[in-house]
Structure 1
Amino acid sequence: MKVFLVLLALLFCGLGAQGIPRNGRAIACPDSFLITPCVCTLNGQQVDMTCAGLTSLKSLTDIFARTFPTNVLHSIVIQSSTLGPLPNDVFNGKSFEIISFLNNRLTSFDNTGILSSSSSTLRSLTVRQDTDDWTFNFANLQGYNLLTSLELSGYSMVLSGTLSSSSLTSVTLRSDFLAALPPLGTLPALTLLNLDGSVIASLAGNSFSSLASLSQLYLGHNKIESLSSGLMSLAASITQVDLSSNLIDTVQPNWITGVSSATSVQLVNNYISVLDQASFEGVIQSLMPSGKLLLDGNPLVCGCEVAWVVTNSAYLTVANDARCVNGTRLTNLDPNYYLQNC
């Protein structure tokens, strides 16, 4: 009996208080006193960490300089901390699948190998930091072939380098310093690009033509004033184009291609006053019969300029939310009046 108890005690010590065996190995959290103020939890066979209130970069690097029961962890959230510019391999050989930096101070990503220990495991990276000026160098993500989700958001964030990835499917970028589209390299798997809520004022022609898998493009709440010819050459997979709440008052012919009856194009809450047939008829025809061109919130002049829409019921089905400057829906206008007077 004594031998059995001794063996049981040795087994318990070998696993640690939170240990779970997996494939003959112990999956365990580090002892809590070694990682304070970070907290480690076991969720099934996943090791997750949260670090809040770190007061210096040294406090973070000291924690990860220690020996952990495993160097392969699932996720880490670092929040409400003051760190400074992060060094290369900030986690000292520990790898994660999900990394989040939330609401930190004076934390910047200027170096190019900051997350290098997670290069073969990282699937999701989120950085949200709305105080202080900070930078993120896209070179940090070179060779991360499992990375599918990226969110970088901050009022004073500055991006450097070119974003290229063979695996990214979702990218969200938001900054009050983001006045132009950041350099986009090869992104063959990208399906969602969210640039909503920045200060983008202009787009270069064919900015999105290389994004062969793109299905959702969000450019709302920016400072775009015009849509020029050849501006948006989109993949046939596109289902959502959101340009709402910009400053758009000029739309030229052939400004968008690639849309289909599976696409919704949102131009809500802009400053478009003339529904120019040369600029919009081709778009509406491409969206027929079940796509949508959303125009509510624009001060449309409803003279003969809209006759081509009002007198075509199929067109009205696509643009059925459009209103005149006086609030009247185009669908409520009398087509006979336009047939007789225009």
Structure 2
Amino acid sequence: MSPLPLYALLCVLAVSSCCVGRAQGKAVVDDVTEKEKLGQEREEFSDREREYNDYTTLNRPCPDEDVIAPCRCIVIHGDDYSMVIDCSDVESEDQLAKIMSSSFPFNTFNTFHISKNNNLKVLRRGSLGNATFQRFFITYSSLEVIETEALAGSYKTVTEMTFEHNEIEEFPWGELSSFTNLKILSLYDNVILSFPPLISDTLERLYLSHNPFGSVPVSAFKGAPALIMIDLNSIEMPDIVPGTYSDLPALEGLWLGYNQLHHVPEGALEIVSTSTSVHLNLVNNSISSVAVNAFSGLTSNTTITLRSNQLQFVEEEVWRPLLEKGVVSLDLEDNPLICGCDIAWVILNSTFLNLISKRTTCSDGEYLVDLDPIIFKEYC
């Protein structure tokens, strides 16, 4: 069996889980800033590859190969010795439990990794033995259930849990508060049917897109005040409940794209964040109307992306209060804008016009920036 490619190992050791999941999966990163971040991360991975171009499966600190087969342990030499245990070839739950219950010379691992495994359906309580981990990556597999206390050995050590592209229906949500250093949680592309209770003082990045749980309750994030990034793309969300996202002082990104939204009601996105920049992404819905004060509390450099929706008008009473503050920019590309007198207030004000995406067009394809102000001054 050929060794795990070094690039894959570097991915699982990276701070972000983008390399393992979202960069290869179905989620679409819609804004340039996020694309730039992904590009920077890939460059960092390349730098790591050059730095760690010598890696081996030494017996120490890893367990003996014969003891853990078909799992494999890899040591990456850097500032410290990071142990990654890869159990992608495990054949059953019983086999995994037997391997991990063995006596290891050292039980402190960096990463537990499984990819493209169709044998493991349940991650059982006690199946990871006495080992502790900083990161879990189980991706592109057939995992359905993570039992209560299956990850308990890493309550104090784990910082990232990525369980993407599986068939997970059951996850120990009630234990989140026990993971006292958890920063990143991704269950992207699973089959979670109802929105889970979230209680965590440390969780910063949450990726739940491509799960069919639909509605998000108003209390969804009240117990996770440290959240910086929330990805709820493609969850079949029918509406936004006002107040749901109002108690997140560190919020920088909220993705609600590719859902079933038709209207953004008053108070829907009251964002009171101390972050220096905020991105609210509602791309690829069916939004045809936005209420006055639908977006409120914005005090930072905020981008509101409403690209690829069904907006026909840019109502002055809705958008002027936001644009006048000078803290909001709008992406209205790919909307059937009529571009009549309703938009004159924008066309006749170069400051406002500069705050709307340059590629925004009217329904006939003409760019807003190319519209003649004289026509609007004369007829509106």
Q: TM-score range by the shorter chain?
A: 0.7 to 0.9
| Residue of structure 2 in register with 1:158 after alignment | 193
Q: Secondary structure at the match of 2:308?
A: coil
Q: Distance in 1 between matches of 2:58 and 2:224?
A: 44
| Residue of structure 2 in register with 1:22 after alignment | none
CA contact 2:101–2:127 (8 Å) conserved in 1? no
Q: Distance in 2 between matches of 1:204 and 1:308?
A: 30
CA contact 2:210–2:233 (8 Å) conserved in 1? no
Out of 214, 221, 231, the residue aligned to residue 251 of structure 2 is: 214
Out of 213, 216, 234, the residue aligned to residue 178 of structure 1 is: 213
CA shift, 1:112, in A, is 2.6
CA separation of 1:88/1:154 partners in 2, compared to 1, >3 Å: closer, same or farther? Answer: same
The question of 1:36 aligning with 2:66 is answered: no
CA contact 1:136–1:158 (8 Å) conserved in 2? no
The question of 1:116 aligning with 2:149 is answered: no
CA shift, 1:17, in A, is 5.3
Q: Distance in 2 between matches of 1:60 and 1:152?
A: 22
How many equivalent pairs are there? 315
| Residue of structure 1 in register with 2:354 after alignment | 317
Out of 163, 167, 183, the residue aligned to residue 148 of structure 1 is: 183
**Per-residue Cα deviation, 1:131-174 (whole angstroms, up to 9, x for no partner):** x4622231132221111111111242335641121111111112
Counterpart residue identity of residue 257, structure 2: G
Structure 1 regions of 5+ residues with no counterpart?
1-15, 20-27
CA shift, 1:272, in A, is 0.5
| Residue of structure 1 in register with 2:296 after alignment | 257
Q: Distance in 2 between matches of 1:96 and 1:133?
A: 21
CA shift, 1:32, in A, is 0.8
Identical counterparts, % of pairs:
25
Out of 318, 325, 332, the residue aligned to residue 279 of structure 1 is: 318
Q: Distance in 1 between matches of 2:178 and 2:346?
A: 50
**Per-residue Cα deviation, 1:232-266 (whole angstroms, up to 9, x for no partner):** 11123252111111111111110011334611111
Q: Distance in 1 between matches of 2:279 and 2:115?
A: 33
Out of 242, 248, 260, the residue aligned to residue 223 of structure 1 is: 260
Q: Distance in 1 between matches of 2:336 and 2:209?
A: 28
CA contact 1:151–1:173 (8 Å) conserved in 2? yes
The question of 1:87 aligning with 2:128 is answered: no
| Residue of structure 2 in register with 1:205 after alignment | 242
| Residue of structure 2 in register with 1:328 after alignment | 366
Q: Distance in 2 between matches of 1:148 and 1:140?
A: 14
Structure possessing the higher radius of gyration over alpha carbons:
1
CA contact 2:288–2:309 (8 Å) conserved in 1? yes
Q: Secondary structure at the match of 1:34?
A: helix
CA contact 1:138–1:159 (8 Å) conserved in 2? no
CA contact 1:189–1:213 (8 Å) conserved in 2? yes
Q: Distance in 1 between matches of 2:149 and 2:98?
A: 18
| Residue of structure 2 in register with 1:13 after alignment | none
Q: Distance in 2 between matches of 1:90 and 1:159?
A: 27
Q: Distance in 1 between matches of 2:193 and 2:137?
A: 18
CA separation of 1:127/1:64 partners in 2, compared to 1, >3 Å: closer, same or farther? Answer: same
Q: Distance in 2 between matches of 1:112 and 1:270?
A: 41
Q: Distance in 2 between matches of 1:161 and 1:268?
A: 29
CA shift, 1:90, in A, is 2.8
Structure 2 regions of 5+ residues with no counterpart?
1-56
Counterpart residue identity of residue 327, structure 1: G
Q: Distance in 2 between matches of 1:311 and 1:189?
A: 41
CA contact 1:320–1:331 (8 Å) conserved in 2? no
Q: Distance in 1 between matches of 2:58 and 2:140?
A: 32
The question of 1:18 aligning with 2:48 is answered: no
Q: Distance in 1 between matches of 2:152 and 2:294?
A: 41
The question of 1:138 aligning with 2:177 is answered: no
| Residue of structure 1 in register with 2:36 after alignment | none
Q: Distance in 2 between matches of 1:146 and 1:89?
A: 21
Out of 100, 105, 110, the residue aligned to residue 69 of structure 1 is: 105
Normalising by structure 2, we get a TM-score of 0.78
**Per-residue Cα deviation, 1:5-26 (whole angstroms, up to 9, x for no partner):** xxxxxxxxxxx9532xxxxxxx
CA contact 1:215–1:235 (8 Å) conserved in 2? no
CA shift, 1:175, in A, is 2.4
Out of 297, 307, 310, the residue aligned to residue 268 of structure 1 is: 307
Q: Distance in 1 between matches of 2:182 and 2:122?
A: 23
CA shift, 1:278, in A, is 1.6
Q: Secondary structure at the match of 1:153?
A: coil
CA shift, 1:39, in A, is 0.6
CA separation of 1:104/1:194 partners in 2, compared to 1, >3 Å: closer, same or farther? Answer: same
